[in-house]
Structure 1
Amino acid sequence: MPALPARADAVVIGGGVIGTSAAYHLAAAGVDTVLLERGSLGGGASAHTAGMVRTYFPGNPDTGRRAVRSLNAYREFAHHTAAPLGLKQLGFLVLFTDEEQIAAFEATRQDQQAAGVQVDLISARDAAGLNPLVDERAVLAAAWSPEAYHVDGLDIVRGYAAAARNHDARVFTHTPVTGIDDDNTVHTSHGSIRADSVVCTAGPWSGEVAAMASVDLPLTPHAVEMLFTDVPPSPHPELPMTMHAASGLRIRSWKDRILLAMGAPKGGETRAAWLGRVAGHLGTLFPDLDGIGLHRAWSGDFDASPDNTAFIGAHPTRRFLYAAGFTGAGLCQAPAAGEKLRDLLVGK
């Protein structure tokens, strides 16, 4: 393993989709950049997602604005990184089962559309037309956003990392950070490096990294377990990503099965009780899946802010920047987050 350099303009901590985006955007702007990753690139939260990028985030047009900008960047990804992504359009469907959810959608629809998000209210019948598994009798209406795509998150990580190296960024994996001094000397298990600026993009560990620099980021790790169904008894067409607004249950096609998520067991709740809740919503909304077997796909922690809106900014008194709290939606916002960190660091 090569030795760490003595110094760098920017040391980015965390080699997931946000960190590699930051490293690329900084290096491409001429910033001498070092990226430190505690494990392998993309081995944390970036690897534990449903593999979707979308622009519609219910109730949050600011996140949607970053996601719109990021989707445009992904469409140009191969031009900037020489790594084609192969975006596959599936669309995003949000099922409303009470009038309050519809009212909340209508209250933010204009703001969403002003942010560039393509989203409309459709009938339950139209929702069942888009996803034949939906029981239209269990649904009042739905939000439909066609701008949602399947993508391999590791392709994004690898593409950004390779492009960062092409702009002379130095990337060190299996190099956990153990401390950060007041002068921005970053200590690792393989030596120390003096940084003009530290950039924290460490996902669920961002709060710990920030605390090393005496910076408070109020983040709470948010556990998520994703599940596979058994192979359904009858073939199904490729489905849009579909979410139940009330419970947060999300499903999408995954080869010959269904991939689904609904958080993880709450405090004091057994896994069996949580699986029962998942199965209950699944059978009510999608009767063809009633009683189907459920199996662990993968699990992990996401970094969550108090209002589930990402923190992207700079400390007011020291050269410490951060982008964290994406709650599993980092793929959808990584290009815009990297651009924002670059602009903050170079003073735009």
Structure 2
Amino acid sequence: MSRGPAAVIGGGVVGLSAACHLAEAGVETVLLERDALGSGASRATADVVRTYFPGNPVSSAMAVRSLAAYRTFAKRSGRAIPLRPVGYLVLFSEPEQVAAFEADLPAQRAAGVDVRLIDADEARRRNPLLGDVPLLAAAWSPDAYVSDTAAIVGGFAEAARRAGADLRTGCPVKAVDIASGRLDTGDGPLTAAAVVCAAGAWSAPLARTAVRELPLGDPVEQELLACGPPPSGEPVPDVPMTLHAPSGLLVRKRGDGLLVGMGYPGPDREGWRARVRERLAAVYPALAGAEVRTAFTGVRDASPDRTEFIGRLPGETPFLYAAGFSGHGLCTAPAAGELVRDLYFGRTPEFDAGRLAATPERV
């Protein structure tokens, strides 16, 4: 790999982590971002770092490893990032949901996740905003923290630059020729010794130019809403990040109200917002009638099983990919960067990376 740098395509938190880990390992690295750093999916997050991903112990294992890296982030970037503990509460209303949690629990524990089943009374004590909605039990994981995505993006960028990486913004990559290692970029042609595709929602079409197929769905636009304060004027208590499993309604405290998400808006954005308001009022009656407005929007990539694709394809110019994070990128970016570095060098990763490859079985 001597004919040029490793070219990382994408300047979100995952691409920056990959560039940082490669540069720190002594690899000549250039990162190419079409816009500003952190301007894609990384700008539309709830700023929460958590380790528990229900039904997805692979992402959970990545997140456990990443949380450890975030706790020592100052050693890498020169500045610590905030990690305010809030915990993660997942509400179950059906016996099938409780059974699925119990079936998943051994794998989650093996991944290092601290999570347990609590009864409905404890769940209501942890989130006193809950109304009289059906509630059998809940999953409780203390390892969820409000952080600062912009600080993480900036920290990885600073660490990558310190290690010698060249970070180029406003530099879109239009096509990749794997046979020659040539990239058609906004700054002209670039010849790379290896290519790392971490372009988020643009990963699939970019990989296709390199005659590589990543089984990603169409890019989806994420929208998070700001709600509150309550019309009564009562302050919102310090509630944990809470997922209402039956509806997908996800909230965390933000300022004097809540930050709210519920799936993806789709083409009928106003209809989706109306459904969010309706569900919010049902689950949290104190917020019925509160102002609900757009907080953030951003385009995301998604894999069929909502687990990230990370792997390496053979060829004259190695093609590595880290995509399909399905909204988990902030939680798993440090581990993803480690894995890209190990795959670049052909090392055996410290965890089961084969389960992350884009194989036909996962489509």
Q: Shift in Å at residue 137 of structure 1?
A: 4.7
The number of equivalent residue pairs is 341
Distance in 2 between residues matched to 1:237 and 1:332, nearest whole Å:
25
Selected match of 2:289 from 288, 291, 294: 291
Q: CA RMSD in A?
A: 1.5
Q: Work out the CA distance in 2 between the residues paired with 1:94 and 1:8.
A: 48
CA deviation profile, 1:119-160 (whole Å, cap 9, x unmatched): 001111111111111136521111000000111111111111
Cα deviation for residue 290 of structure 1 reads 2.3
Q: Which deviations, in whole Å up to 9, do the C-alpha atoms of 1:103-128 show, x marking residues without a partner?
A: 10000111101110000011111111
3-state SS in 2 of match to 1:301 = strand
**Structure 1 gaps, min length 5:** 1-5
Alpha-carbon distance in structure 2 between the residues aligned to 1:208 and 1:83: 36
Is residue 2:178 matched to residue 1:209?
no
User: Does the CA-based 8 Å contact 2:43-2:296 persist in structure 1?
Assistant: no
Structure 1: distance between partners of 2:136 and 2:282: 13
Residue 195 of structure 1 corresponds to 192
Residues 69-108 of structure 1 aligned to structure 2 (within 5 Å): 69-108=65-104
Native 8 Å contact 1:223 1:263 kept in 2:
no
Shift of 1:263: 2.0
TM-score (normalizing by structure 2) = 0.91
Q: Distance in 2 between matches of 1:257 and 1:7?
A: 54
Q: How does 1:171-320 map to 2 (within 5 A)?
A: 171-181=167-177, 182-220=179-217, 221-232=219-230, 233-266=233-266, 270-317=268-315, 318-320=317-319
Give, as a single letter, the amino acid of the residue that structure 2 aligns with 1:87: L
TM-score by length of 1: 0.95
C-alpha distance after superposition, 1:16-52 (max 9, x if no partner): 1001100110001011100111111111110110000
Distance in 2 between residues matched to 1:222 and 1:327, nearest whole Å: 10
Q: 1:88 touches 1:150 (CA, 8 Å); kept in 2?
A: yes
SS of the aligned residue for 2:277 comes to helix
Output the amino acid matched with 1:273.
G
Q: Deviation string for 1:185-221 (max 9, x for gaps)? A: 1111111211110001111111122112111011121
Q: Distance in 1 between matches of 2:236 and 2:111?
A: 34
How is 1:18-37 mapped onto 2 (pairs within 5 angstroms)?
A: 18-37=14-33
Unaligned runs of 5+ in 2: 348-363
Q: Report if the CA contact (8 A) 2:32-2:168 is conserved.
A: yes
Report if aligned partners of 1:138, 1:285 keep a CA contact under 8 Å in 2.
no
Distance across 2 between alignment mates of 1:256 and 1:145: 24
Q: Does 2:339 align with 1:340?
A: yes
Between the aligned partners of 2:190 and 2:175, the Cα distance in structure 1 is 11
| CA distance in 2: counterparts of 1:61 and 1:261, whole angstroms | 22
Note if contact 2:131-2:285 (Cα within 8 Å) is conserved in structure 1. Answer: yes
Residue 353 of structure 2 corresponds to which residue in structure 1?
none
Aligned-partner SS, 1:304: coil
Distance (whole Å) between structure 2 residues aligned to residue 201 and residue 345 of structure 1: 14
Quick one: distance in 2 between partners of 1:31 and 1:83? Answer: 24
Alignment match, 1:329? 328
